[in-house]
Chains A and B, each alone.
Chain A
Amino acid sequence: MRQQVLVLYLSSSALDSQVVGWSRYDGTGRTRPMTGDSDEPPYDTGLAALYDGWRLFQASQLLPPQAGHEYDVSFLKHEFFFEKWEDETQA
């Protein structure tokens, strides 16, 4: 069995909020997703990924901003990791 990983960046910390960014990593080696290869996300929300059988295994913690850095912007905050397991011999 090999792991497929899907990373969704959501509009808020709610799993059913809109997908604003996405990444794929394919442990079967059958595909090789990379930077800038699509303009449309695979799902509209994180919840839609659950409906399609992806298993959520990590979500970003909710961390308050450091004092003095309340207005700074940097990485996307609401990052959710999903996985699927696939037989590597599967067509």
Chain B
Amino acid sequence: MSTSKHLLTSVQMARFVAQGHLRLDGVVPQEINERALAALADGLPGVPYGTPLRTAFPEDAFMSELLALPAVAGTVESLVGPDPTVDHHAVHVREPHDGHAQDLHADAIIDVRPDAFDIQLMYYPHEVTPEMGGTLSVPGSHLRRVNETDIGRVQNLRGQSRLTCPAGTVVLLHHGIWHGGRRNDTARRRFMYKIRLNPTVPQVRLWDTADLDDPAVATELHTYFPWYEAATARLEVYNRVLLWRALTGDASFDVEHWVTRVSNRPALRSHA
């Protein structure tokens, strides 16, 4: 599938499967950022679970314009398909000199789907500096099955991402990623808008697959992160291969032969 839409490439999709997040720095025009800030300060009405995204927001709302931006729309479609539903949305505010960080957590209850995922779109309408305490997230944590704040005891991990970004940045996260809001040490309120989207179609080859056979796909899926334990790092790659097989419909794909090796079950008496 090759298209003029701003769909992800296979290499970018593999990066999402390995890391659990993609960031689009400064893709939202300042005019939308300013309208969003005004709207977020006033709070937003809720959206019923399962509302189709195409009907969830008024046309003139900043959310509609945000999600219609080609870079955002193409990434969303690549991940969850052309017609997702809104799970929920929320305004996250970190007050000035808010001295407490959120515990590290995964959102919602534990989600063990092996062949489907929701995405969480996080939108930062203003610049986030280190002192403002942007979102902490842990690349490569999204396939680790933990329930909510059970991991709250863990404060820091090597290679964690302490987000700083220009105004108008959008980050898209796999639902399982470990994350938390950091403390805000400035005199300025920090805003973040979050929307969770559920797929309504099988998440199979929804992106631009023209580069599906690019060796860089396997390279992305083979990425190790500095917080992984030595033995578990291989299991991470193993689980990414299973997800990549589900997303591509290619049951023979592998990295380093690991899934193929341990699922090899020659029939008994095959040499009889």
Contact = CB atoms under 8 A, between A and B. Distances in A.
A77 B229 contact: yes
Interface residues of B, number: 37
A75 B155 contact: no
B150 interface: yes
B238 A36 contact: no
B162 A39 contact: yes
B245 interface: no
A73 B239 contact: yes
5 contacts: A9-B157, A12-B230, A17-B230, A39-B158, A76-B229
Contact of B155 (A17, A22, A74): A22
Contacts of A33: 155
Contacts of B143: 73
A21 interface: yes
Interface string A1-39: 000000101111000010111111000000011111111
B150 A75 contact: yes
Interface of B: 99-104, 133, 136, 143-146, 150-158, 160, 162, 180, 182-183, 226-232, 235-236, 238-239
Given A33-B155, A35-B155, A39-B156, 7 more contacts: A10-B229, A22-B155, A35-B101, A36-B101, A37-B156, A71-B238, A74-B144
Contacts of B101: 34-37
A26 B12 CA distance: 42
B227 A20 contact: yes
B160 A9 contact: no
B25 to A, nearest CB: 20
B158 A36 contact: no
Contacts of A17: 230
B179 to A, nearest CB: 9
B79 to A, nearest CB: 21
